[in-house]
Amino acid sequence: MNSSVTAGGAERLAALACERYERRFGRRAAAVAAAPGRVNLLGDHTDYNEGFALPMAIDRRAVVAAGPGGSERCRVVSLAMEEEAEFALEAPAAPGWGAYAHGVAIELAKLGDGSAPFDAVIASDVPLGGGLSSSAAIEVAMCLALEAMWGIKLDPLERAKLCSRAEREYTGTPCGLMDQLVACRAVAGAAMLIDFRSNESTSAPIFEQDVAIVIAHSGVAHALGDGAYAQRRAECERAAALAGAASLRDVTEADLNLLAACGDEIALRRARHVVRENHCALHGAEALRQRNYEWFGRLMNVSHASLRDDFESSCPEIDALVRNALSLPGVLGARMTGGGFGGCIVAMVRVEAAAGCVERLIAFTDGNRSSCFLAQPSAGAALMQF
């Protein structure tokens, strides 16, 4: 991975992308778009169960500089991968990182007559393999840049659905809608409480003079396409069917007793997690609105225990990192975040203790300074003037 794109803000990333675009393709980019990564504070594995989640966009972004193609094929350069993907727009998406861009282009081309081959450069400082939605950031930034070029205008929900569909169909990842919806719709200074039945969202402010959000990578790469995520999703569907519910969103505490009587321990545990996690997300939004961060921290701890014990999506490295974070002064709560099976943890920390928390977690992760950072609640995707 090219370390030159691992730090610096959207403007720095845009400068890198545009400079490489001009050097590689011999002309200026026609459109530049940026989209954020996200961290989920509460509510994991609830989106595909029509439940509730409380994520926020982070101040790490993917930037896409794009323009009309110089040949009959599309060419996409990734600065992070230090590679170039080339494909025909109408051809099936080939496996690999290029499928994220190609899949979005295929889906967007279905919506208008202005689609044509394009060239693009992607620069991103969203950590790869951390469960922070690096792929969704790329998809949404690519979609927004191509919309500007092809004269197509989607609203944020339409854009999120298109990008989620592209990831499922062209990369084989059975993702929900959360990552893309946050990238499209986030509000600076706030988390988003999302209802995945209606796809409506409301904001819950995070007052940065009170608390800080710390993200730390476990050192274990997070990969949703390796089968465990799909297995959990299938187990949730089985649990809903056993409970006679359309989705686990509709399962009650009484239904959990019925599942227990069925003797399917796996279905019971998966359903119990989703019921509990929906509760945590709903109450977490209220805790933020009340600035009751002790309550919020307790909900984070309950959520992690549920992900670890009932959903079984944690791992020893994640659990050790959570325990270490919770031992530090000023840490109110900590949990794994994202789809699980590796990736990152997120902690809420009193603002005066945040810098010390970061330094201690860096030391715990073998001194890797890129493994731990403060994250600010940031705005969603936008076109950039560059």
Lookup: tokens for 367: 């001194």
Do 168 and 241 belong to one domain?
A: no
Closest CA to 92 of 24, 172, 150: 172
Q: CA-CA distance, 125 to 134, in Å (whole number)?
A: 9
Tens digits of residue pLDDT in 111-141: 988 899 999 999 999 998 888 999 999 999 9
Whether residue 357 is contained in a domain is answered as yes
pLDDT of residue 221: 82
Q: Are residues 226 and 175 in the same domain?
A: no
CA distance 231 to 226: 10
Q: Which domain CATH number covers 294? A: 3.30.70.890
Angle at 160 between CA 157 and CA 166, to 5 degrees: 140
**Per-residue pLDDT, 2:** 39
Task: Give the structural domain span for 297.
Answer: 204-375
Instruction: Identify the pLDDT of residue 223.
Output: 62
Taking 70 as the pLDDT cut, the residues of the chain under it are 1-8, 222-226
Q: Among residues 130, 160, 188, which one ends one of the domains?
A: 188
Is position 51 within any domain? Answer: no
**What's the one-letter identity of residue 351?**
V
CA angle 124, 170, 106 (to 5 degrees): 85
Domain presence at residue 113: yes
Write down which residue in 131, 162, 188 finishes a domain: 188
Q: Which residues are catalytic?
A: 179
As for how many domains the chain has, the answer is 2
User: What pTM was computed for the model?
Assistant: 0.93
* Same domain assignment for residues 175 and 231: no
pLDDT of residue 129: 81
Domain co-membership, 22 together with 159:
yes
DSSP assignment string, 245-270: -SSGGG--HHHHHHHHHHT-HHHHHH
pLDDT digits (tens, 9 = 90+) for 306-329: 999 999 999 999 999 999 999 999
pLDDT, residue 5, reads: 43
User: Is the domain of 99 the same as that of 148?
Assistant: yes
Query: Residue 89: how many CB atoms within 10 A of its CB?
Result: 16
What per-residue confidence (pLDDT) applies to 131?
A: 86
- Is position 323 within any domain? yes
Question: What pLDDT score was predicted for residue 222?
Answer: 67
